[in-house]
Structure 1
Amino acid sequence: MKYKILTLVTLLITASVPAHAQWSGAVAETRKLAAETRSEAAKTRDLITSEKKAVVNEKAQLEKVIAAKHKQHEELKARYEALLQQEARLKEELAQQAHELKTIDGTIRTSAKQARDYFHESLTTPEFPHREPVLSVILTPETFPGLEGIKNLLRLYMEEMSASGRVQLREGSFVNADGRTETARLLRIGTFTAAFKKQDGTAGFLRPLHEGSLLGAVPGNPGWTLGRGMRAYFEGESDTFPVDISNGAALARLEQDQKGIYEWLQTGGLLVWPIILVGIIALGLVIERFYTLGRLRGNSDRNMQTILSMIRARKWHECQEFCARASNFPTCRIIGHTLGYMGATREIIENAYQEAMLKELPVLERFLPTLSVLAAVAPLLGLLGTVTGMINTFQTITLYGTGDPRMMSGGISEALITTQLGLAVAVPIMILHHILERRVDALMGDMEEKGTSFTVALMQQGQIRQGESYGAAA
């Protein structure tokens, strides 16, 4: 269209100079061109209108599509947010389930470890050799036991419960005290007593060995009474059997009872021997004191009546001879010594009597202070042994820790045995010392009492000269 307008303008410019004939042709041509131009313009307007209408329709369609897409976007966004929330909730639930699963796994493994430790000490384990493989599978690291493992563990416990209510008599092998394996008749009563009887009639108790896989004989002789009852049951002659309801503690005690006194003393350490020496010395002194004091008579009432009657009759020579014959009475010896001072003053008579008593006193009290010292030394030595044993115990703890209590038993045994022995020696010494001391006091009291009666009797017979006392003379 632009090309046609330019052509028209060109013709107009060209036609400005030509003649009138040409002008008419140009006008006609121009009108024709104008008509064509209007026709084309109308077509163009129709085309533009049609295209505008198409564009509007297309825009409306696109707006609908955009609105639908926007709505879909919002829906997807909301769904995405919901999925995020669901994911967070599922993660939290998964974490809780993982914690619960871990707790369950720990509980199962703990129960399996406890079961393994229990079965290692159970008398029924040799009859169920499948226990160890089952427990090994459950205790495999980084593997969840699962429901099957729980069932197997429960099955092992049910087997143990069932076995604990049965009495099992069978032929089997055990390890004797020498470490050799022998075959005999084995008896199991529940889960707390097991015994054997060999063909030669020897019977004894059994205990678990080698993590429960074998049974071993308990060292020590069960005694004639228990042995007879055990053999009678094995032979069908009795319906009763001695059982150990202490779960092995009584059997361990039976083993310890086989130790002799020398082995028991050796566990107390070196300080046991000084304590024993103190006891031997004290025993010798006590025997000597009882022998010496036993020869002395304390109750001299009858002799004193005889002596007083002789004094009243003034039979001085007979009185001295009687005191010489009754020399086993300290009182008679003292009176016999004092009769040599008759006719002296009362002060001299009393001093002579006191002198004779002082001569008798060392004989009566000899070794009594020594016994008192020994009674105090014995528990002190025991206390020293206690301190020494505890020092050894703490040194063991420093080196090896407290994992194995048996490593500390030596020091504790030394501490307890020395204390026990020290007290066992000291208590009898103190009691015997008190008895001897009371015996001496009784003799001294008898001598003092009879001395007063003797002095009064002499005064009544005028055998004491009146004179000044030492205090007045001084």
Structure 2
Amino acid sequence: MIAATSRIASGALALALLLASLSSLAATPPPANGLDKLVEQIRDGSREMSKTNAEREARFLRDKTQQAALLAQAEAARNAADARAKAAKARFDGAQAGIAALKQQLSGRVGDSAQIFSAVAEAAGAFRAQAGDSLVTPQFPDRIAELDALAQARELPGVDQIEQLWLAYAQEIAEGGKVARFDAQVFDDQGSPQQQQVTRIGLFTAFADGRYLALQPDTGKLAALARQPGHTGLIDDFGRGDEPLATILIDPSRGALLRRSAERPTLGERIDQGGEVGYVIIAIGILGGVLAIYQLVYLLRVDRQVRQQLRQIEQPRLDNPLGRVLASIAPQGASDALLLQDPEVLETRLSEAILRETPKLERYQSLLKMIVAAGPLLGLLGTVVGMIMTFQVITELGAGDPKVMAGGISQAMVATVLGLIIAIPLLFANSFLGSRSRALTQVLDEQAAGLLARHLEANSKAQSSAAGAR
């Protein structure tokens, strides 16, 4: 079909050339032999075109033969690949069937061994987690690798491996009732390991070099607590003791309680949590306490002196209020003696002397009352400031983590506690000082009234005697 198309195209081209030649001849009268040359040219062009078309047809046929050969090769390769794929699938299906048969045969032969394997692996995994937090592990560190091998095994365990797991359980139980000493690496506060002799009390407590130890969560290594709990002196007593029984701290939580106890803030840290308001409360409380103690010592000394003066009422001394009150009515001359015969003058002298002594006896009580009232108010102020800080933190960081709010809440609570701590003792101290000062003032009033009565009685007897003499 392609050859026929080529022939038609070449014929059409020849016809076009012929028509063009004829038109040019018609337009320009050719010479006599011009037609022969034109015919010869047309023939030469036709032969050249035929030759070109023949070469094209030959080249096309040659390419077509090559394409057919390539197609045949590709089809042969595809058929060979299909044959190999079918053979491989047949072998795969046969192998799968063989594997299923072998699995069924293995399952029948294993029987209860699979359950034993599962139980051993599960028990080893559970005990591995327990051993990682046990104080026995630093003494026997190799057992961790053994338990990992049992927990991650992909084969049925042998009798030796099962006995190994049983011995690990027995070892843990036995060591729980022992006090053991062994050498192990202990990490200090800077994270540097040091070889030290460790004393382990069962499964509960371990210490070395006078410091309590705890297991690091990630590594399972022993590390000294950054902050030691109280009663560290028991460690030295325990090491020096020759008695079969000794006192030592026991942590049944395997270190958790010791860490929590060590993390508790000290008294200074608690006070520091109160902030500036807390320090103001403490300063006021110290001032009130000093004044209360000073006045208490003064009143006790005055009470002792007044009791001594009561035993020598006729010999007033000026080192105590009662003596000074009694001495206030001693006549300073003849005119003064005549004045003191007047009961009103005598009563006025005694009242003046008592009023002069009363301020010293009631000294600082008003100030202490103010401090007692101001302590809880300052505590309330600290509480408000702490809550403001807490709400500010919540606004900035949210309420997801309670630790971020601990600072403000601590300040609020500590300030309240400090205010109550200074108010309650000072309230009792002020009440005691008030009762002591009132008791002394009452003694002065009683003695002044008695002195006035005796003086009036003496004057009455003197007047009666003078009237009888007349």
* Shorter-chain TM-score tier: 0.5 to 0.7
Tell me the distance in 2 between the aligned counterparts of 1:113 and 1:174.
26
CA distance 1:449–1:390, shift in 2 (3 Å): same
Tell me the distance in 1 between the aligned counterparts of 2:424 and 2:283.
15
Residue in 1 aligned with 2:358?
Answer: 361
CA distance 1:370–1:241, shift in 2 (3 Å): closer
The share of aligned pairs that are identical, in percent, is 29
Q: Check whether the contact 2:306–2:321 (CA below 8 A) recurs between aligned residues.
A: yes
Q: Check whether the contact 2:187–2:223 (CA below 8 A) recurs between aligned residues.
A: yes
| Residue correspondence of structure 1 range 148-167 to structure 2 within 5 A | 163=172, 165-166=174-175, 167=178
Deviation at 1:207, TM superposition (A): 0.9
Which residue, out of 419, 425, 445, partners 2:422?
425
| Residue correspondence of structure 1 range 274-313 to structure 2 within 5 A | 274-296=280-302, 297-299=305-307, 300-304=309-313, 306=314
Q: Check whether the contact 1:204–1:218 (CA below 8 A) recurs between aligned residues.
A: yes
Q: Which amino acid aligns with 1:342?
A: L
CA distance 1:169–1:330, shift in 2 (3 Å): closer
Residue in 1 aligned with 2:324?
Answer: 333
Residue in 2 aligned with 1:182?
Answer: 194
Deviation at 1:394, TM superposition (A): 5.1
Q: Check whether the contact 1:121–1:212 (CA below 8 A) recurs between aligned residues.
A: no
Residue in 2 aligned with 1:414?
Answer: 411
Deviation at 1:131, TM superposition (A): 9.8
Tell me the distance in 2 between the aligned counterparts of 1:387 and 1:132.
56
Gapped regions of structure 2 (runs ≥ 5): 1-121, 158-163, 331-335, 464-470
Residue in 1 aligned with 2:373?
Answer: 376
Which residue, out of 340, 344, 359, partners 1:342?
340
Tell me the distance in 2 between the aligned counterparts of 1:179 and 1:374.
49
Q: Check whether the contact 1:163–1:190 (CA below 8 A) recurs between aligned residues.
A: no
Q: Which amino acid aligns with 1:268?
A: G
Deviation at 1:194, TM superposition (A): 2.5
Residue in 2 aligned with 1:151?
Answer: none
SS class of match (2:328): helix
Q: Check whether the contact 1:342–1:464 (CA below 8 A) recurs between aligned residues.
A: no
SS class of match (1:462): helix
Deviation at 1:192, TM superposition (A): 2.0
Q: Which amino acid aligns with 2:448?
A: G
Compare 221-230 and 171-180 and name the one that shifted more.
221-230
Higher RCO, 1 vs 2 (CA within 8 Å, ≥6 residues apart) = 1
Tell me the distance in 2 between the aligned counterparts of 1:132 and 1:405.
38
Which residue, out of 432, 435, 440, partners 2:432?
435
SS class of match (1:173): strand
Q: Check whether the contact 1:119–1:212 (CA below 8 A) recurs between aligned residues.
A: no
Q: TM-score, normalised by structure 1?
A: 0.54
Which of structures 1 and 2 has the bigger CA Rg?
1
Deviations 1:249-274 (A, max 9, x none): 653366358x7654443233222211
Compare 122-131 and 164-173 and name the one that shifted more.
122-131
Gapped regions of structure 1 (runs ≥ 5): 1-108, 138-146, 149-154, 197-201, 307-321, 467-474
Residue in 1 aligned with 2:22?
Answer: none
- How many residue pairs get matched? 318
SS class of match (2:281): helix
| Residue correspondence of structure 1 range 32-47 to structure 2 within 5 A | none
CA distance 1:231–1:451, shift in 2 (3 Å): closer
Deviation at 1:119, TM superposition (A): 6.8
Deviation at 1:133, TM superposition (A): 6.9
Q: Which amino acid aligns with 1:266?
A: D
Q: Check whether the contact 1:122–1:212 (CA below 8 A) recurs between aligned residues.
A: no
Residue in 2 aligned with 1:173?
Answer: 185
